[in-house]
């Protein structure tokens, strides 16, 4: 995992700016929209049929005094899908790679086990007026949006619940995200795991979540050395936005639609960590967010 960050050498100039503890409030605003929809067309999903998942999560702190209004790292996430939701363990051949494998290795070896894709933003907390290097444009691929205008005064607080990112906030890193079914965790292949691979021109990280019953649990790695919090990347960087579409046609099967409400509810529980440079700061409390999807 650490080897993947060798490319961060080009970003070493910003690291020193993160060695001085910053004061920030625990006024965290967590957004978590996890919608369930039909696999095709505009029809609402029927019960006991395969569906797709559209998830968007963002973390903001309007009172943060860190550069780029950086919020505390998200350390753990659990997503509770409707009871009796079923995952097909044989929907793909399964990715028989370590959860912390290099993103390029996962792309090459696990293409047949991909279940979804999307994008993510990394807040680097850099004190710089210049946009960061992003992924090079590739024909026919999901590419980085342009940088936000320097005069955009809301770029570090804007959120993108509709899944569309119009511009990359200055100093942030845009990541292409791919999700793979299966992973090797602690030396053992786990078919009910999901690897989330985040790729960027200067960074690449991969980590896994596991599914038990109808609950997906993701514990983010601590990568900023001894004392860093879960979800704290090298140099104190953090994931601020994460958008993923799971579209594999035979991966997730919905339960029967409740006759009384014609609604499914997905509950997302998000926990936060402290930065190792701020050991005495206030830890933000967990947040529980619900998303309601219509069904029939």
Backbone Cα Rg of the chain:
19
**Left (φ > 0), alpha (ψ -120 to 50) or beta: where does 282 sit?**
beta
- Kindly report, residue by residue over 42-89, the tens digit of the pLDDT: 778 888 889 999 999 999 999 999 999 999 999 999 999 999 999 999
Secondary structure letter of residue 147 according to DSSP: B
Q: What is d(CA 120, CA 177) in angstroms, rounded to the nearest whole number? A: 7
Non-local CB neighbours of 21 within 8 Å, separated by 6+ positions: 275, 277, 278, 281
Question: In whole angstroms, what is the distance from residue 32 CA to residue 73 CA?
Answer: 15
Model confidence pLDDT, tens digit, residues 166-213? 999 999 999 999 999 999 999 999 999 999 999 986 668 999 999 999
Phi/psi at 184 (5° precision) = -95, 120
Q: Which of 296, 295, 287, 290 is nearest to 265 (CA)?
A: 290
CB 73 within 8 A of CB 231: yes
pLDDT digits (tens, 9 = 90+) for 122-139: 999 999 888 887 876 665
Q: Do residues 179 and 156 make contact, with C-beta atoms less than 8 angstroms apart?
A: no
């Amino acid at each position: 995992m650490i080897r993947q960050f060798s490319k961060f050498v080009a970003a070493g100039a910003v690291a020193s700016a993160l060695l001085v503890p910053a004061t920030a409030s625990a006024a965290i605003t967590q957004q978590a929209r996890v919608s369930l929809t039909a696999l095709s067309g505009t029809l609402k999903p029927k019960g006991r049929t395969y569906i797709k998942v559209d998830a968007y999560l963002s973390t903001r702190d309007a009172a943060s005094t860190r550069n780029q209004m950086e919020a505390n790292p998200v350390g753990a996430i659990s997503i509770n899908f409707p009871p009796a939701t079923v995952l097909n363990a044989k929907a793909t051949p399964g990715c028989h790679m370590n959860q912390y494998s290099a993103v390029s290795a996962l792309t090459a070896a696990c293409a047949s086990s991909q279940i979804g894709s999307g994008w993510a933003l990394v807040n680097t907390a850099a004190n710089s007026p210049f946009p960061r290097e992003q992924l090079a444009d590739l024909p026919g691929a999901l590419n980085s949006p342009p940088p936000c205008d320097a005069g955009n005064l809301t770029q570090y607080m804007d959120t993108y619940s509709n899944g569309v990112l119009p511009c990359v906030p200055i100093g942030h890193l845009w990541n292409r995200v791919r999700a793979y079914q299966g992973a090797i965790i602690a030396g053992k292949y786990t078919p009910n795991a999901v690897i989330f691979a985040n790729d960027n021109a200067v960074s690449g990280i991969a980590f896994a979540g596991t599914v038990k019953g109808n609950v997906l649990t993701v514990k983010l790695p601590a990568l900023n050395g001894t004392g860093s919090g879960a979800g704290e990347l090298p140099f104190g960087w953090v994931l601020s936005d994460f958008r993923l579409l799971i579209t594999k046609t035979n991966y997730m099967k919905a339960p029967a639609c409740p006759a009384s409400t014609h609604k499914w509810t997905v509950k997302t529980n998000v926990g936060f960590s402290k930065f190792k440079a701020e050991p005495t700061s206030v830890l933000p409390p967990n947040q529980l967010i619900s998303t309601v999807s219509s069904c029939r």
